Amino acid sequence: MTDGNTVYDIVILGGGSGGYACALRAVDLGKSVLLVEKDKAGGTCLHYGCIPTKALLHAGEVADLSRDGIQFGIKTTLSGIDMSGVHSYKDGIVGRLYKGLQGTLKSRGVTYLEGAGKLVSPTAVEVDGQRYEGRHVVLATGSQPKWFPGFEPDGERILTSEHALKLDRVPASVVILGAGAIGVEFASIWRSFGADVTIVEALPNLVPLEDKDSSKLLERAFRKRKIAFHTGTKASKVEKTDSGVKVSLENGKEVEAEIMLVAVGRGPVSADLGYEQQGVQLDRGFVKVDEYCQTAVETISAVGDLIATPQFAHVGFQEGILVAERLAGLQVMPIDYAGIPRITYSDPEVASVGYTSEQATEKYGEIKEVSYNLAANGKSLILQTQGAVKVIAAKDGPVVGVHMVGARVGELLAEAQLIYNWEAFPAEVAQFIHGHPSQSEAIGEAHLALAGKPLHFHN
């Protein structure tokens, strides 16, 4: 039970990835914590983002395998997609994780309060008219889907990702604005379910924040999957028609579809929560913090999608832990955001850590890089996937970037993360021969080639 007279060590506003990670680490360090959440513990990631979208992507993978079983000598057919059954599968996973998280928060001693909170002083939040004091306040109110004027979602023909997760049918056709992770993941889902998909991206490439070679590999794969895309052009307007929507592009083309998904990113949830009134500085809605997630107000920190750092749940985890440890008096190090793993779970997956070729050249000057084609990897051939593992090293220096495209390559990123963050040299990684046959061999082969002793190398 919460008590309005209790002064907590930390009051956390927002129970998503950043907020609950901060709460769990803080109670482990002996702090009393009040965690306030207006919706459900777990936030966007658990309920409206990472987990449900990945469940849909796996359902799409099952659909593709059913449709294409004959290439493996298995006589399967796909008779249809039962979206109610797909949602039941998805919601079952979310439900189990939510129940587990609730139990974890309770068993670890986090005081949890469901309600809409607002910052009312540098050391207090108000929830449903009740004031709660803390020696420190952590803001973790997350993000929400963005859209442009003229492209406002209506939940029927123009959707956000949250609407799309609840769609009760497979649309015949979809146009998607935005080719970041959300856009290409939903493109992958709907194409696997049988929809015609067209992506519109203002920047020159799909997944534009990734290395250009990764973007090109994904574009090649999407062409093969018959996912259409228009890059380097913006949508100028959308009109509702009898059958759906008609989207006009700045390049003069028009795209008609049953529905439109607006996937142009997520913006911070910071308006009307009392932040600026208490001295918290905002920039385009994002809370401004230093490298330790500390705001301009000594008693207030902020983490997760609310601050202008990469919008991944695992970034929120790391920031929440950093703040908890800092407030407990432990020595903490600023986060190297380049060392955070990045995965887009489309088919094929795109995974990376460290710097792109362009970024590495700018930072280190001369670089060496090797791209190992998965066509030479036995396990990738068994999985019938195409792509590559690209490794970038500073000249006579450590590995500074790893970029991968292919089925399941996200699972390879743990090793790549260690290589980058431990500043390993190619020759050090090349000492370790990877299990055969495995996709991890592609990482080993790339490092062998960079170290000057290639084995089965095909560039």
Residues (pLDDT < 70) of the chain are: 1-4, 458-459
**Cα-based angle 272, 274, 279 (whole degrees, multiple of 5):** 135
Question: pLDDT value at position 458?
Answer: 57
Question: pLDDT value at position 459?
Answer: 56
For residue 417 the two structure tokens come to 């993360």
CB atoms within 10 A of CB 410: 18
Q: Give the residue numbers annotated as catalytic, written as ranges.
A: 436
Q: How far is CA 244 from CA 72, 83, 151, 201, 258, in A?
A: 38, 20, 14, 20, 4
pLDDT tens digit sequence for 329-346: 999 999 999 999 999 999
Question: pLDDT value at position 253?
Answer: 96
Please answer whether residues 379 and 437 qualify as being in contact, where contact means their C-beta atoms are separated by less than 8 angstroms.
yes
CA dist 150 and 205 (Å) reads: 24
CA dist 320 and 22 (Å) reads: 4
In degrees rounded to 5, what are phi and psi of residue 312? -125, 145
Instruction: Give yes or no for a cis peptide into 268 (omega within 30° of 0).
Output: no
Question: pLDDT value at position 198?
Answer: 98
Question: pLDDT value at position 1?
Answer: 47
For residue 330 the two structure tokens come to 């432990």
Q: How far is CA 86 from CA 74, 163, 220, in A?
A: 23, 15, 28
In degrees rounded to 5, what are phi and psi of residue 3? -135, 120
CB atoms within 10 A of CB 106: 11
The widest CA-to-CA distance across the chain, in whole angstroms, is 69
pTM for this model (two decimals): 0.95
Number of residues that this document lists for the chain? 459
Question: pLDDT value at position 3?
Answer: 59
